[in-house]
Amino acid sequence: MTVYDFTVKDRKGNEVALSDYQGKVLLIVNTATGCGFTPHYEPLEAMYKEMKDQGLEILDFPCNQFANQAPGDADEIHEFCTLKYGTEFPQFAKIDVNGDNADPLYVYLATEKPFAGFGKGLKFAALNKFANMNNKQFGEKAYIKWNFTKFLVDRNGNVVERFEPTVDMEVVKAKVAELL
């Protein structure tokens, strides 16, 4: 099984087969418009502009499961991202990434690359505590710990790395460049 076996919905509700992205390097991200990590849109868009001609696609999946930080509908979220950050990479329908209604793609991604921690230090410990409180409601189905978790997928559809939102975007960019 690879990510190419999944179908998702675009922001208008149309089905999109991820096999359409075969041969591309994918960075799949669950996002939110009102999060402390929302500024990640800026380096994500810069990376997309720089690397899309080399085969990078960034797939944006808004999610409102983390402290209600993505409350808008698909059009509001898209407008925010394009006006504030100039995003051009594909944005998909808002989904759940945790719980009984978690999108099957995210269950697969998190199973392939489980959570390994936010890092060391006071800031990371605080985020971990907050995430654990938020995710208690999902129990064993808390696959994703916070907004802007990124999954790197190679050109064959294999999940090769998971980056928590606390990972420096330059590290993410370097790993993406290695696969390109």
Given CA atoms 97, 165, 29, 161 in this order, what sign does their dihedral have?
Answer: negative
Question: Rounded distance, CA 32 to CA 47, Å?
Answer: 19
Q: Which residue has the tokens 């994703």?
A: 144
Q: Active-site residues: which are they?
A: 35
Question: Rounded distance, CA 58 to CA 117, Å?
Answer: 23
Q: How does strand 7-9 pair with strand 15-17? A: antiparallel
CB 51 within 8 A of CB 177: yes
